[in-house]
């Protein structure tokens, strides 16, 4: 099965991320040509065949692009949360392992 | 006295409404029924319809809606009413990470590989009961105890594993006394656990275990026919022996000092009801519907005992249904993996279950001292070694300090590789806080400890179990039962 993706709508990283979960059942080949990516899906031996692979992949593309947009938009808040989290550990007693065998 | 009309002197309710909102970081996944499940850093979850999801991510969710309030309270969005969702998310994340910062708390001593049982699924090579060369030496035990007290963790669990541990009971006594003597100055909260098949246990052994407040972990695979087939012993029924000795342990140590572990084999798959009934009959209030491990020696018997991931998932669902119905009939019984999951869904606590940590808890939270002095980062890691694969061996008790072991290139590489945020597939998964990396499982099944989640049976199993439990929580009657399992 082949499907074509317009590179003006989805960049290559989004296409590759969307492909990931399909690699459990398919071997996927990506070819670029002009403004298009052509994806070929070949079912692996003994794998589960998705009935509407093109439709499922299109949904995965849309969800991946939302995911990537949100990841970018929420990065400052993520960094604030992580900084705030790590600050909890700055003034707590150091948990560094003691040197030597059996030191208390 | 003059009264002030309610409309005077106050701003309108609308003036307090937020002017807009910003989504906070979260992962999401589309479920089979078209809804979306969201999970975030604070460990909160939400399920949205397709319409709600797209309104939310497009910044168009009405601020007056119940969905808005729910997402706000669960740290999925922040607005101009204050930065408390950010601080709350950080506080919950810090609580969850606190366990990791305490470092190693579980120390497993493999006191012998000798065994009197020939279990079909045994993960370690079965050495006959008279081959003393597979016993841990006193010198090795003393060096290992030294390493235990180098850990900064305030809570230490010493677990004795085998083989059949009670065949080397003198060493268990020696280690216990050594630990208690050291702890007079180290002052840690120490707990002892002994894993035993309970084929034989003497009154003297029971007295010692009682005096040192031991917990006993044994095996129970179900009714006699199933247990005896899985765990054959020449000349007797291992089920009868275990049942008789479970009762003796309870009488000597107390009801809550003995627990049983189930291993699901192919023969178990059509018997979830019988297995749950057997646990109830023997008075257990917790059962762990645990899949067989494809490690070490057990790999050789997969043809006889193994099964597909789909078959296990079906068994898990049937077993969990039977357990819930048992509770509804008035007998309290929790399923261990589900209870752990519920604890993480409804509280920010990290119970420290080694196989479900992010990054991997192997080595960081657990350390295994094998009978020959080899130090491994998990029990599964030493099981691989019994088959000649020493990938997860960190060093030797006599040659390494605790710092050497924890800062070894191998362990730091594994920790680095197993942070779910950086693992392809896990990086976008909403279930990160309910899951873990399990590098030994992925190494054993896929050849690389980092693993490939697209083809991982661990990932498939975990995802199915989590989504099943989340679905059960939508049923008020099932939820009422499940909430009683929260520790």
Question: Which of B264, B224, B216 lies closest to B241, judged by CA?
Answer: B224
A95–chain B Cβ distance below 8 A for any pair = yes
Q: How far apart, in whole angstroms, are the C-alpha atoms of residue A34 and residue A98?
A: 60
Number of C-beta neighbours around residue B59 at 10 A: 12
Number of C-beta neighbours around residue B262 at 10 A: 22
- Compute the CA torsion angle B381, B384, B388, B394 (nearest 10 deg): 0
Q: How far apart, in whole angstroms, are the C-alpha atoms of residue B291 and residue B271?
A: 14
Question: In the structure encoding, which two tokens stand for residue A24, read together?
Answer: 């459990």
Residue listed under structure tokens 């919950």? B92
The answer to whether B121 touches B354, Cβ cutoff 8 Å, is no
DSSP B384: H
Q: How far apart, in whole angstroms, are the C-alpha atoms of residue B111 and residue B5?
A: 80
Smallest CA–CA distance, residue B101 to chain A, in Å, is 6
Rg value, chain B, Cα = 25
Interchain proximity A77–B86, CB inside 8 Å: yes
DSSP B42: T
Spatial CB neighbours of A74, under 8 Å, sequence gap ≥ 6:
B22, B23, B24, B25, B26
Which residue of chain B is at minimal alpha-carbon distance from A85? Answer: B90
Smallest CA–CA distance, residue A92 to chain B, in Å, is 10
Interchain proximity A97–B103, CB inside 8 Å: yes
| Residues B267-324: tens digit of each pLDDT | 999 999 999 999 999 999 999 999 987 765 556 666 666 788 999 999 999 999 999 9
Question: In the structure encoding, which two tokens stand for residue B352, read together?
Answer: 């420290």
Number of C-beta neighbours around residue B69 at 10 A: 11
Chain B residues touching A102 at Cβ < 8 A: 145-147, 149-150
Side-chain-side CA neighbours of residue B96 (13 Å): 27
The answer to whether B48 touches B36, Cβ cutoff 8 Å, is yes
Residue B430's alpha-carbon distances to B18, B57, B170, in angstroms, are 27, 15, 48
Flag whether the pTM goes above 0.80.
yes
The answer to whether B452 touches B469, Cβ cutoff 8 Å, is no
pLDDT tens-digit profile, chain A (104 residues): 899 999 999 999 999 999 999 999 999 999 999 999 999 999 998 888 877 899 999 999 999 999 999 999 999 999 999 999 999 888 665 444 444 444 33
Q: How far apart, in whole angstroms, are the C-alpha atoms of residue B218 and residue B261?
A: 6
The answer to whether B333 touches B74, Cβ cutoff 8 Å, is no
Which residue of chain B is at minimal alpha-carbon distance from A70? Answer: B25
| Residues B42-62: tens digit of each pLDDT | 999 999 999 999 999 999 999
Number of C-beta neighbours around residue B13 at 10 A: 8
Kind plus residue range of the DSSP H or E element containing B95: helix B84-101
Query: Percent helix, strand, coil in chain A (nearest 5)?
Result: 45, 20, 35
Q: How far apart, in whole angstroms, are the C-alpha atoms of residue B49 and residue B358?
A: 29
Rg value, chain A, Cα = 22
The answer to whether B55 touches B106, Cβ cutoff 8 Å, is no
- The shortest CB-CB distance from B87 to any of A75, A84, A96 is to A84
B454–chain A Cβ distance below 8 A for any pair = yes
* Helix ranges restricted to H, chain A: 12-19, 53-73, 75-87
pLDDT the model gives residue B120: 76
Residue of B78, B85, B428, B463 to mutate for A, most A C-beta atoms under 10 A: B428
Q: How far apart, in whole angstroms, are the C-alpha atoms of residue A20 and residue A39?
A: 13
Segment-wise mean pLDDT, segments of 10 residues, chain B, 487 residues: 58 80 97 96 96 97 95 96 94 92 93 84 63 89 97 96 94 98 96 96 98 97 94 91 97 96 93 98 97 67 76 97 98 98 94 92 94 94 89 95 94 94 94 95 92 93 97 98 93
The answer to whether B410 touches B364, Cβ cutoff 8 Å, is no
A27–chain B Cβ distance below 8 A for any pair = no
The answer to whether B316 touches B292, Cβ cutoff 8 Å, is no
Chain A residues touching B401 at Cβ < 8 A: 97, 99-101
Kind plus residue range of the DSSP H or E element containing B378: none
pLDDT the model gives residue B293: 77
- The shortest CB-CB distance from A102 to any of B149, B454, B455 is to B149
Smallest CA–CA distance, residue B146 to chain A, in Å, is 4
- The shortest CB-CB distance from A95 to any of B30, B103, B455 is to B103
Chain B residues touching A77 at Cβ < 8 A: 22, 24-25, 78, 86
Interchain proximity B22–A73, CB inside 8 Å: yes
Q: How far apart, in whole angstroms, are the C-alpha atoms of residue B392 and residue B414?
A: 10
Kind plus residue range of the DSSP H or E element containing A42: strand A36-43
Q: Which residues pair with residue B454 across a beta bridge?
A: none
The answer to whether B116 touches B129, Cβ cutoff 8 Å, is yes
Which residue of chain A is at minimal alpha-carbon distance from B78? Answer: A77
Question: Which of B375, B442, B337 lies closest to B147, judged by CA?
Answer: B375
pLDDT the model gives residue A89: 85
- Compute the CA torsion angle B109, B112, B117, B120 (nearest 10 deg): 60
Cβ burial, residue A5 (10 Å; 0-12/13-18/19+): buried
Q: How far apart, in whole angstroms, are the C-alpha atoms of residue B439 and residue B391?
A: 11
């Amino acid at each position: 099965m082949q499907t074509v993706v317009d590179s003006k709508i989805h960049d290559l990283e989004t296409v590759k991320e969307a492909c990931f979960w399909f690699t459990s059942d398919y071997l996927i080949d990506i070819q670029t040509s002009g403004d298009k990516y052509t994806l070929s899906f070949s079912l692996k031996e003994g794998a589960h065949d998705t009935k509407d692979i093109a439709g499922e992949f299109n949904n995965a593309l849309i969800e991946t692009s939302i995911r990537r947009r949100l990841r970018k938009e929420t990065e400052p808040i993520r960094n604030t949360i992580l900084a705030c989290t790590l600050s909890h550990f700055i003034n707590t007693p150091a948990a560094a392992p003691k040197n030597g065998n059996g030191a208390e | 006295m003059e009264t002030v009309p309610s409309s005077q002197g106050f701003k309108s309710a609308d003036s307090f409404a937020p002017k807009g909102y910003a989504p906070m970081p979260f992962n999401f996944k589309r479920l089979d029924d078209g809804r979306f499940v969201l999970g975030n850093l604070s460990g909160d979850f939400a399920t949205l319809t397709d319409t709600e999801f797209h309104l939310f991510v497009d910044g168009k969710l009405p601020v007056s809606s119940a969905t808005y309030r729910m997402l706000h309270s669960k740290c999925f969005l922040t607005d101009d009413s204050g930065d408390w969702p950010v601080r709350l998310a950080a506080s919950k994340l810090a609580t969850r990470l606190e366990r990791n910062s305490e470092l190693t708390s579980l120390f497993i001593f493999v006191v012998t590989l000798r065994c009197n049982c020939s279990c079909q699924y045994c993960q370690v090579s079965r050495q006959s009961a008279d081959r003393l060369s597979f016993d841990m030496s006193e010198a090795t035990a003393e060096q290992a105890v030294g390493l235990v007290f180098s850990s900064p963790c305030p809570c230490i669990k010493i677990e004795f594993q085998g083989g059949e541990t009670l065949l080397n009971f003198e060493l268990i006594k020696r280690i216990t006394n050594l630990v208690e003597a050291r702890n007079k100055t180290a002052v840690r909260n120490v707990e002892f656990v002994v894993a035993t098949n309970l084929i034989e246990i003497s009154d003297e052994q029971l007295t010692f275990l009682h005096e040192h407040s031991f917990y006993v972990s044994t095996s129970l695979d179900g009714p006699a026919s199933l247990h005896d087939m899985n765990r054959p012993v020449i000349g007797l029924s291992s089920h009868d022996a275990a049942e008789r000795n479970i009762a003796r342990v309870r009488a000597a140590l107390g009801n809550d000092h003995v627990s049983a572990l189930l291993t699901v084999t192919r023969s178990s798959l059509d018997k979830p009801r019988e297995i749950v009934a057997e646990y109830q009959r023997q008075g257990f209030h917790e059962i762990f519907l645990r899949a067989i491990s494809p490690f070490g020696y057990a790999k050789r018997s997969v043809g006889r005992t193994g099964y597909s991931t789909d078959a296990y998932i079906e068994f898990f669902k049937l077993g969990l249904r039977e357990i819930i119905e048992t509770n509804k009939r008035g007998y309290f019984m929790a399923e261990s993996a589900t209870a752990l999951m519920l604890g993480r869904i409804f509280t920010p606590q990290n119970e420290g279950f080694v196989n479900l940590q992010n990054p991997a808890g192997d080595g960081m939270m657990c350390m295994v001292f094998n009978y020959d002095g080899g130090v491994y980062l998990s029990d599964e890691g030493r099981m691989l070694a019994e088959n000649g694969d020493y990938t997860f061996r960190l060093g030797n008790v006599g040659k390494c300090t605790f710092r050497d072991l924890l800062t070894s290139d191998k362990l730091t590489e594994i920790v680095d590789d197993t942070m779910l945020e950086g693992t392809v597939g896990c990086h976008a998964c909403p279930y990160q806080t309910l899951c873990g990396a399990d590098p030994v499982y992925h190494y054993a099944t896929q050849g690389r400890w980092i693993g490939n989640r697209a083809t991982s049976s661990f990932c498939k199993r975990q995802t199915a179990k989590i989504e099943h439990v989340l679905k059960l929580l939508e049923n008020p009657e099932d939820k009422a039962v499940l909430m009683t399992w929260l520790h």
